[in-house]
């Protein structure tokens, strides 16, 4: 019934550690892994062992390599579901709108969950993400990347691995829609950059206080533009670029 225990190879330990970091959300979708040289230094093994471990992880669909750019973590949701969301959605405004609606529902849940389970390091990362966004706004940058990272830092604070990977995929796909959303906020709702930044600050303060209701209310205000008027604006945008 039992079989002799075989000692694990070094490569298996490397695979297990990296896979664990991916699955627990410490290495979210899109994260760039250190170079082979740096991984070899961190694990105190040869580069050939690292190379073999990365090949195994790539075969499992957990990472992907791009010549000249490096190795990146893939979304677990794509691996689990066996679909490429980007190919599925393409540039169809209906699917983009569906994602926008999903984002609103999920973020309203996530901000309350973060208030419950976030540890001090999570709160530190959310604060740092806000500081980066604030800095971008000060240098007259609309902070597209830092805006997404602020919201994603709240998602990561929920400690829900599947959600982290799902939203990692959604944020990448929603980059265009997010830009259209800001365009709508500034041109239609006449919101200023200062007002938009204040909405993020209000969310941050509520999360730091661990006030679930206040955090939910502030996120609701921030995402209140997601409605029928914005849906029409979104469809009109896609119609004009075709």
pLDDT in tens, the chain (242 residues): 555 545 678 999 999 999 888 877 788 888 899 999 999 999 999 999 999 999 999 888 888 888 888 999 887 666 555 455 565 555 678 888 888 898 999 999 999 999 999 999 999 999 999 999 999 988 877 677 888 889 999 999 999 988 888 887 777 777 777 888 888 888 888 888 899 999 999 999 999 999 999 999 999 999 999 999 999 998 988 887 65
pLDDT at 94: 86
Per DSSP, what are the bridge partners of residue 65?
Answer: 71
Q: Which residues, at least 6 apart from 86, have a Cβ–Cβ distance to it below 8 Å?
A: 172, 173
Q: Which CATH number fits domain 10-74: 3.40.1160.10, 1.10.10.10, 3.40.50.1980, 1.10.3720.10?
A: 1.10.10.10
Question: Cα(94)–Cα(10) distance, rounded to whole angstroms?
Answer: 48
Q: What local confidence, expressed as pLDDT, does residue 140 receive?
A: 72
Position 5 scores a pLDDT of: 43
Per-residue CA distances from 91 to 14, 94, 188, 234, 240 (Å)? 39, 9, 23, 12, 13
Cβ atoms < 10 Å from Cβ of 4: 4
Q: Return the CATH architecture of domain 85-240.
A: Up-down Bundle (1.20)
Cβ pair 145, 7 in contact under 8 A:
no
Domains of the chain, residue spans: 10-74, 85-240
Could you give the dihedral angle defined by the CA atoms of residues 222, 227, 229 and 230, in that order, rounded to the nearest 10 degrees?
60
Q: What is the pLDDT of residue 90?
A: 57
- Could you tell me where the DSSP H helices lie in the chain? 10-23, 36-43, 47-59, 76-81, 85-89, 93-117, 120-138, 144-156, 161-173, 175-187, 193-208, 212-222, 228-240
Contacts 24+ apart (CB under 8 A), 131-140: 133/197, 133/200, 134/197, 134/201, 137/193, 137/194, 137/197
């Amino acid at each position: 019934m039992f079989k002799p225990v075989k000692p694990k190879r070094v490569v298996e330990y490397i695979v297990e550690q990296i896979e664990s970091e991916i699955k627990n959300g410490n290495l979210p979708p899109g994260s760039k892994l250190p170079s082979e040289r740096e991984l070899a230094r961190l694990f105190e093994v040869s580069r050939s062992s690292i190379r073999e471990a990365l090949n195994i992880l790539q075969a499992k669909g957990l990472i992907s390599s791009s010549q000249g750019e490096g190795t990146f973590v893939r979304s677990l949701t794509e691996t689990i579901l066996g679909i490429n969301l980007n190919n599925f959605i393409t540039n169809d405004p209906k699917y983009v709108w569906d994602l926008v609606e999903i984002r609103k529902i999920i973020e309203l849940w996530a901000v309350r969950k973060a208030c419950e389970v976030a540890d001090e390091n999570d709160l530190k990362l959310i604060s740092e993400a806000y500081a980066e966004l604030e800095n971008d706004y000060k240098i007259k940058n609309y902070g597209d990347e830092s805006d997404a990272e602020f919201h994603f830092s709240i998602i990561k604070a929920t400690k829900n691995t599947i959600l982290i990977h799902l939203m990692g995929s959604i944020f990448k796909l929603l980059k265009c829609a997010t830009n259209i959303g800001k365009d709508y906020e500034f041109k239609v709702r006449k919101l200023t950059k200062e007002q938009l930044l204040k909405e993020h600050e209000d969310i941050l303060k509520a999360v730091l206080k661990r006030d679930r209701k206040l955090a939910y209310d502030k996120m609701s205000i921030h995402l209140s533009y997601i409605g029928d008027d914005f849906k029409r604006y979104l469809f009109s945008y896609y119609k004009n670029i075709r």
